[in-house]
Amino acid sequence: TELMRLKTRPDGSVCLTIDCAKLSDAGKYAVFAKIGNRGVGSMSVVSVTKAPEEEKPQEEEEAPEEDQQMEFKDKLPKALTVVEGSPLKLVAKIARRGERIPALKWTKNGAPVEESDRVYRESTPNGTVALKIDSALLSDAGNYTLSFKTADGMKSCNVAVQITPKSTIDKPVFIKGLSRMSAEEGKSCRLECKVSGDIETINWFKNGEKISANQHFGFVRDSDGTLALLIDSLKSDDSAEYSVEVVNKSGKADTSAALKVVQKAKEKPIFLEELKPIMSSEGNQLILKAVYKSDLPATVKWMKDGFDLKADHRIQIHEGPDGTVTLTIESALMDDSGKYTVSVINDEGR
């Protein structure tokens, strides 16, 4: 109706306003909301008392002598804007004579400002006065006036306060950034970071150029906020500065780090499979086998009881391309018993 208005705010609060309340407006009020298959409700009991009769206006008292010299030293700012939920502080300074604190009046849009647990006044002996509002609401916006009476009349100053709605989405924040790393050529690497907040867009860059997913680059996004760039079969030109940027409606954040690709280290040979002890009967064939790995060209050397072994009509030595080496003895003799050793040597060692 004209005297009763219902308003729903962006933060989910609802407000029923009754202008010029009457005694008949007293009663029990309730609000209900349905969410899916569930309903919630809230109730309030409203009492309306009869307004007291207006008293006859009294003659204005003359301002005390101390108030006659009072004036604003620093007025309120002309305008002030704060974000919803932030503290609001309106400050002015009054130059006065004596220790007496003047009777100050704070109004908002012409109505007196009522103090509460959230709204309160402050004053200091040096004449600084303030109106403080903890956790400003959208409804706190308006035109605020500070005034006091002097022998010369009323002194006042005004400030227009605007409250901007707080975004429901926080700006993304990296809780773990990318780290500088080195990786060996030919291997794979993973550049990893972790972000907090809702994310709409993720972009990876190499030296400032955007990267697309392909056989060489892959992207990972886990539910806990972990983001990773996978690089397969590293090459020397993968050495670069890598960065990732995340964006949502409230802003963006980024992190970066350098990747250095180093040449594959040259190592001495290693055995993937060593020689094993053998027990056999005279006249049988003996086969000794080992498997090695070497990044460099290597030489294979066989020995028995500390003496070099060479291939002949009875002893055969073979080396395969996969690093498998064998020593075969046809029709073993009793003298073939002993300690056999195979050595693999390259430029880095044996």
Res 26 pLDDT > 80: no
Q: Assign 66 a pLDDT band (cuts: 50, 70, 90).
A: very low
Average pLDDT over residues 124-145: 90
SS3 23: helix
Residue 143 lies in a domain: yes
Residues 182 and 255 occupy one common structural domain? yes
**What is the residue range of 326's domain?**
270-345
Query: What pLDDT score was predicted for residue 253?
Result: 94
The number of beta carbons lying within 10 Å of the beta carbon of residue 34 is 9
SS3 56: coil
Pairing of strands 286-293, 324-329: antiparallel
Q: What's the pLDDT tens digit per position in 210-223? A: 999 999 999 999 99
Residue 52 lies in a domain: no
Q: What's the pLDDT tens digit per position in 180-208? A: 999 988 899 999 999 998 898 999 999 99
Closest among 183, 299, 294, 293 to 234, alpha carbons compared: 183
Residues 130 and 177 occupy one common structural domain? no
Domain total of the chain: 4
Closest among 121, 136, 59, 117 to 91, alpha carbons compared: 121
Residue 350 lies in a domain: no
Whole-angstrom distance, CA of residue 247 vs CA of residue 243 = 14
Residue 147 lies in a domain: yes
Domain CATH for 314:
2.60.40.10
- Please report, rounded to a whole number, the percentage of residues in the chain having pLDDT higher than 70: 87
Average pLDDT of the residues of the chain = 84
Q: What's the pLDDT tens digit per position in 135-145? A: 899 999 999 99
Whole-angstrom distance, CA of residue 130 vs CA of residue 127 = 10
Res 97 pLDDT > 70: no
User: Is the pTM higher than 0.75?
Assistant: no
Residues 218 and 137 occupy one common structural domain? no
- Residue burial 171-196, b: 16+ Cβ < 10 Å; e: rest: bbebeebbeeeebeeeeebebbbebb
Q: What's the pLDDT tens digit per position in 241-293? A: 999 999 988 889 999 999 999 887 777 888 899 989 988 888 898 898 999 98
